[in-house]
Structure 1
């Protein structure tokens, strides 16, 4: 059979700077005999410049958003969702589509594929034979989410009553650490203490990123509360969250569980400290969301949403950005793409490789529920 053709599309989601393929992984695919087409991207969109791809022999560069005209057998690979359109999709797409957990509008997203004869191979559900995801942005999602949470906590102290302003991406982790540490120390000087941060899902990739951020900016270990399934087994709501300044949710939600916090528990506790929640898991529209205190996403341009219905201070800001790793796009992309690479190489034998046959079976399952 001929070698697979991967077509890297330009991302269209605002503030999305990551890339499913990097120059490093694209070269490895070319060396393995793959045909690689890369859509050009504005320098302020994709963290990797066009010149970084152009310097690799064998890579074809094309204009942005031309994937609709790609050969029928090309895999269209990207990260975040396509624009909200209704035309049928004729290609096989490798991306995060956010529709296999019945998120809001999932049927509108999914029906475009069978309408055109295309297939959705969702990156979130590519799993190895042990049921573990082959590639995820979890670590950098947790890291970035915790960073914004600490920054939001500091902002509440140094700019009381003012809305937390928009943020932009950082070229590397050191720059992010330095900035967050600086604003945290300025706030801590006003209240004579450092924040207490509680992470649920601390043993996973996402949670480990949140914990690493806290340590890297100098939050003492006794202020870093690390919870996982053992601590949440009794069922929420949890007073320990309410007694912390910052709560970072890093669980992977599969089934309905008791809420970790809710308005009732927040309003009944007269000694609440909690003022920032970062829902890295971002199951905002999932009916089983264990943080039912907000109902809308936030964005890098407007990072927080207020919790309504509180009867006492302090106010609570929720961060619910569904592409947090884009705060550190270069490092997050390199990590993710290298984890994904072994599975991409298996596309040569897609019909017999479990990682891909399972993904297609899952797609067919959900198409059957349309």
Structure 2
């Protein structure tokens, strides 16, 4: 997407409200995403218009990477502001984004609405919360923004994460079979839409011959959830036979692993939500012991608890893979068949517009309650959790003599 040149850039606001006498109920600042290759956005032109129609004032940072052009936001009444200048926004304007902020020691003074990936003691969790503590800022973590009546997340990318994960796994499987089993998947790129993805993935697998896609066998763990249902849906649409899509959930994993059944498929997609420690699904020793009597060659860790100390798939280095380099090799033992892992933590970006639209649409009812966030349970519960995690991080810092 070329850089927008026609969308005017509004001056940075001096307050949350406009200069007119009719002050909106809420201002909101959509920041650009700085994670490499991230094209999704937390608001779309459609959902931004819904908020504007309900009295919101929406500031949008100009961005030449986002899957929506600047002009699309401007056309619905958003006010365009410079790229990556949210830190200059008034402190009473919440900063809205998806992926975590860039690493920095700078204190965070604003209210942020985003995925921070710090509440399950992931790598660097205290560093991030320390920044909020120093700046007296506030985090509403999108992963834990829940319906107060059901406890279910109000919005999630789970379905598209699973769908894209299954597609990426199938592409890695097809590529791995090339060059005498030495092929390596490189350079994943977002697709224009779901049908384009399905057509391309199916073509790659069918090019292998030997019965085509119908011979591929896949296991989805967490199949009853949003993420797992997306993976199952993708496998069906690219042509896997129903009997070759193995669907596991909590009942099948209750006995604890490692699981020999996981070695009897071509592709294993992990879609669980890791809330508490569980026995390992697979280990490198278990894989090596299987030797040549193993079918599994591709693991897709959609859950991506890469740096979580309780990751149930500790078979690859504790780092995420990327779109340019989607896979990492597993140490399988000398002379044994290859196995690779995909651990990309923003897989829905492979379908950026569809994923953004669905997520943002699901989030709208909660965003409409932002003006009442001091009393609306969806927001007060999220703030209470933030305060709790801040306390845990501060307690750990004090043990180690770390000052904010």
Aligned residues: 367
CA distance in 1, matches of 2:186, 2:334: 25
Tell me the residue number matched to 1:104.
123
Is 1:15 the counterpart of 2:37? The answer is: yes
Does 187-196 or 136-145 show the bigger shift?
187-196
In the aligned structure 1, how far is the partner of 2:377 from the partner of 2:370? 11
RMSD, aligned α-carbons? 1.4
Q: Which residue of 1 aligns with 2:201?
A: 180
**Separation in 2, partners of 1:188, 1:364:** 56
The verdict on how the C-alpha distance between 1:234 and 1:362 changes in structure 2, with shifts beyond 3 A counting, is same
Whole-angstrom CA distance in 2 between matches of 1:122 and 1:74: 16
Instruction: Work out whether 1:360 is the aligned partner of 2:389.
Output: no
Give 2:9's aligned residue.
Answer: none
2:93 is matched with 74
Correspondent of 2:154 among 121, 134, 137 = 134
Describe how 1:1-150 pairs up with structure 2 within 5 A: 3-42=25-64, 45-57=65-77, 59-129=78-148, 130-150=150-170
Q: CA deviation at 1:186?
A: 0.8
- Does residue 206 in structure 1 map to residue 219 in structure 2? no
Aligned residue in 2 for 1:153: 173
Three-state SS of the structure 1 residue aligned to 2:154 is: coil
* Partners of 1:267 and 1:312 within 8 A in 2: no
Question: Any stretches of 5+ residues in structure 2 without a counterpart?
Answer: 1-22, 394-404
Counterpart-to-counterpart distance in 1, 2:332 and 2:264: 19
Deviation at 1:312, TM superposition (A): 4.4
Output one character per residue of 1:51-103: Cα deviation in whole Å (capped at 9) or x when no partner. 1111113x211111111110110010000011111111110000001100100
Cα pair 1:294 1:318 within 8 Å, conserved: yes
Match of 2:237 among 212, 216, 234: 216
3-state SS of paired residue (2:240): coil
Deviation, structure 1 residue 310: 2.8
Describe the SS at the equivalent of 2:177.
Answer: helix
After superposition, the Cα gap between the structure-2 partners of 1:192 and 1:297, relative to the gap in structure 1 and judged at 3 Å, is closer
- Per the TM alignment, residue 345 of structure 1 is displaced from its structure 2 partner at its CA by 0.5
The residue number in structure 1 matching 2:367 is 344
TM superposition score normalised by structure 2: 0.89
* Partners of 2:328 and 2:366 in 1: CA distance: 37
After superposing on structure 2, the runs of 4+ consecutive aligned residues of structure 1 that deviate more than 4 Å are: 190-193
Name the SS of the counterpart of 2:210 in structure 1: helix
How far apart, in 2, do the equivalents of 1:193 and 1:212 lie? 15
- Give 1:311 deviation, angstroms: 4.0
Looking at CA atoms only, which structure, 1 or 2, has the larger radius of gyration?
2
Equivalent residues of 2:177, 2:183 under 8 A apart: no
> What is the CA-CA distance between 1:309 and the residue it aligns to?
4.7
1:314 matches 2:334? no
Check if 1:329 corresponds to 2:348.
no
Cα shift readout 1:216-252 (whole Å, capped 9, x = no counterpart): 0111111100011111111111111101111000000
2 CA distance for matches of 1:312 and 1:125? 45
Contact 2:332 2:338 survives alignment (8 Å): no
Unpaired stretches in structure 1, ≥5 consecutive residues: none
Q: Would the aligned equivalents of 2:176 and 2:182 in 1 still touch at CA under 8 Å? A: yes
User: What TM-score comes out, normalization by structure 1 length?
Assistant: 0.97
Q: In the TM superposition, what is the alpha-carbon distance from 1:320 to its structure 2 partner?
A: 0.2
Q: Is this contact kept in 2: 1:141–1:325, CA < 8 A?
A: yes
Structure 2 distance, partners of 1:258, 1:190, is 36
Mapped contact 1:155–1:187 kept (Cα < 8 A): no
- Partner residue in 1 for 2:263: 242
Contact 1:157/1:190, CA 8 A, preserved across alignment? no
Q: Residues 334, 241 of structure 1: CA spacing in aligned structure 2 closer, same or farther, 3 A cutoff?
A: same
Displacement of 1:163 in angstroms is 2.5
3-state SS of paired residue (2:183): coil
Per-residue CA deviation, residues 267-295 of structure 1 (Å, 9 max, x unaligned), is 22241001000000000110110101012
1-structure distance, mates of 2:213, 2:390: 56
